[in-house]
Structure 1
Amino acid sequence: MPLTLVTIACLSDNYAYLVHDAGSGATAVVDVPDAGPVQAALEERGWALTDILLTHHHHDHVGGVETLRAATGAAVWGAAQDAHRLPPLDRPVEPGRDERFGDDTVRVIDVPGHTVGHIAYFMAPSNLLFSGDSLMALGCGRLFEGTPEQMWGSLGAMADLPEDTIVCSGHEYTKANAAFALSLGDVPDALRRRAEEVTAARAKGLATVPTRLGLEKATNPFLRASDPALKAALGMENASDVDVFARTRALKDAF
């Protein structure tokens, strides 16, 4: 049976994600900005939390972990290489080494850029990607610790996943990201339509995540750094893909 996915709004603009395997009863949450909304979602569905998966160490992704662990006894997963600044880990994981959750294989992907210890989780065959603050809806995370080369490589690793992958990212930034994407001058029809849909959704208070990888590849400027049309719009026709990405990220930082 496919996994059940629940998107939970937390804090002002964060998201946590519940994943439930009906066959085994296993239930995971990916990132815990705040324990309260996660506990309420579990109680509403009668699910018992078994696992807590962390993408990176920032407080707005781990702030509720200890409260939730104490209440549920769930095992905390996180990057072994970043264990020194994560909550204590019950299950240190390493990129390139597959884990199991219910009937799904969990691929741990190294995605440095936003932070150097950032990881993403890809659950197959359910095709769920939990990308935290690396790949985001119409965007990518600010480079607080990593380099443009690292983030471009991280985005490429995720872009190679199946087109129908469901991308579960960590924030409700899509409307602002859409405005930035439109400002670059290269506006594919798919981007224009998506920007209109995002504006309409937010006007109704609806979440704009998760999204689909195929849609991100068609509209997200940070995944389109190799596109000749975007390069031309930026006046960088002969530049390398990573230089175009770096320029795009710098423009977003100042937007």
Structure 2
Amino acid sequence: MVETDMGIFRHGERCAEREAEEVLGGAGWRELPVRCERDGREVRVRLLAPDDPGPLPAIMWAGGDDVAVKLPLEELATHGVASCVIEDAAPESAQALEELEAASDAVGRLDLIDNCRVFLAGAERGCVAATLAATRHPHDVSGLVLLSPDFSAGNATGNDQDAGGIWGDMRRFHGPVLVCRSEGASHRAFDDARRAAEEFPHARLVTLGEGPRVVGEAMWLSHAVGEVVRFIRET
């Protein structure tokens, strides 16, 4: 188990403590617990890693009560990508942002992880915290993934930033960005994905439709994982 109370990315510093012990596993992957703190609050992270000594690329999923929970993360692991989800993530994006920063600190300093290939990701409202973290730490983030982004939450960006400010901040992140949207999404989600792809300087927009290739949520998520794996390999 790894513990840290740092709140900004410092991936250049390795943690000298013993890495997390395996608690669960499957074909080609294992799950490791990681614990850290932010402002006295404990942050628990589920790290699903390939059966590989590493160093591995890692993708940090912001938020827990969204489509990211349903993603077949084991599938990412079988493709050589470590995937991290914050347990009991805060519903308010300001606190979710702090949790994501703390988790990225801890995971990025594991010997198992390639700290030059740490990606941030969000799904639906989790995209707010992921985007804010990327714009606050543009030099520590290898890339950003947004699945069906929803930036409509009224207090999503915290007290020091109005809901519209996040769009302008996107221009501060010059790393690669993958935006995936569903052809059957609401007009709001469809528009948010399109606008995000326009605001980020280096973004690619992918539409996963409801046709013969992608039918139903399970298939959409599986194809989204495929796009994520391709994005990480090409970055």
Higher relative CO (Cα under 8 Å, sequence separation at least 6) belongs to 2
More helix by share: 1
Bucket of the pairwise TM-score, normalised by the shorter protein: 0.3 to 0.5
Q: Decide which structure has the larger Cα Rg and report it.
A: 1
TM-score, normalization: structure 2?
A: 0.36
TM-score, normalization: structure 1?
A: 0.34
